[in-house]
Amino acid sequence: MTAQKEVALPQLIVVLGPTASGKSSLGINLAQTFRGEIVSADSRQVYRGLDIGTAKVTPEEQRLVPHHLLDVADPREIYTVAQFKQAAMEAIDGIIHRGLVPFLVGGSPHYIQAVVDNLDIPQVEPQPALRAELEQRPLPELLAQLEELDPQSATTIDRNNPRRIIRALEVCLITGKPFSAQRRLADPRYHSLLLGIHWPREILYQRIDERVDIRMQQGMVDEVRKLLAEGVPAERLDAMGLEYRFISRLLQGQFTDQAEMVQRLKYAIHDFTRRQLTWFRKEKRIVWIEGGTDVEQQARTIVSDFLKQRQIL
């Protein structure tokens, strides 16, 4: 009987953290230091035209380090986690093939888990007619149906994100099986280092508020106005994250003034960040570094030690 050959898993470095924690700049610094390229793990930055509201890295920053999976989808269409996983793994494998170090950078837990844990995701094509029907129903009604069909997904899903809820229902209704029961772990493709940036809660909220103010100054309202003019429905923007949801509602006259909208948006992002942190706290593999003046040096030391290792199968 021939002995099975031992194979070293390719190494993958994941830079993650909550909103406004500094993931993008740290990822660029590390990729420059360790001859790497970046694969974005942001469920909104995949869409063209969603730039200011998603804090997408600028063209100047992209010239510092090659970035993958930015601007790959039309915002009028839904880009699924299964599509992301396939494209991300192709990009990561290409980086490894070129003898460089892949960095997966972002804060979307479902994107990160799909790659790191090699999730076997249900390959259910979008069902336009069913989605159109579900989109007409109130969110509480959709949540009640999901709780009935798939209690596990109902407890872990972002309950304020109609797009995620509708996708979970779509898979349940088409396959006749709970969405959560169909997301299985396959053998890992990579030996992954999960590197997270931690800030005290009050400092993180301050960073969030400052970034909202900067985005408003950069023209975030005009960005949303342009997307609407280009034919992206307000209902679609409502599902594209808090910034787009609140600003599209501002433009529809649902706020008394812009100042009220901005303040309520900041509070909503704080609440969203708490949910992000809940997921991150459950992920025990994350190596946390403290945000601050020496964050890059902390990260470089950890990454350097990791790259000296090789995990053997």
Residues comprising the binding site for substrate? Answer: 19-24
Strands 101-105 and 119-120 turn out to be unpaired
Residue 119 forms beta bridges with which residues? Answer: 185
Binding-site residues for ATP sit at 17-24
Please give the structure tokens belonging to residue 251.
């433009």
Q: Which residue has the tokens 């990561």?
A: 92
With CA atoms as reference, report the closest residue to 35 among 61, 7, 59, 13: 13
SS3 233: coil
Burial bucket for residue 48 (CB in 10 Å: 0-12, 13-18, 19+): middle
Are the C-beta atoms of 84 and 46 separated by less than 8 Å?
yes
Distance CA 153, CA 156 (A): 5
Question: CA angle 294-35-194, nearest 5°?
Answer: 55
Cα distances from 293 to residues 18, 22, 111, 200, in angstroms, run: 18, 12, 29, 14
Binding-site residues sit at 17-24
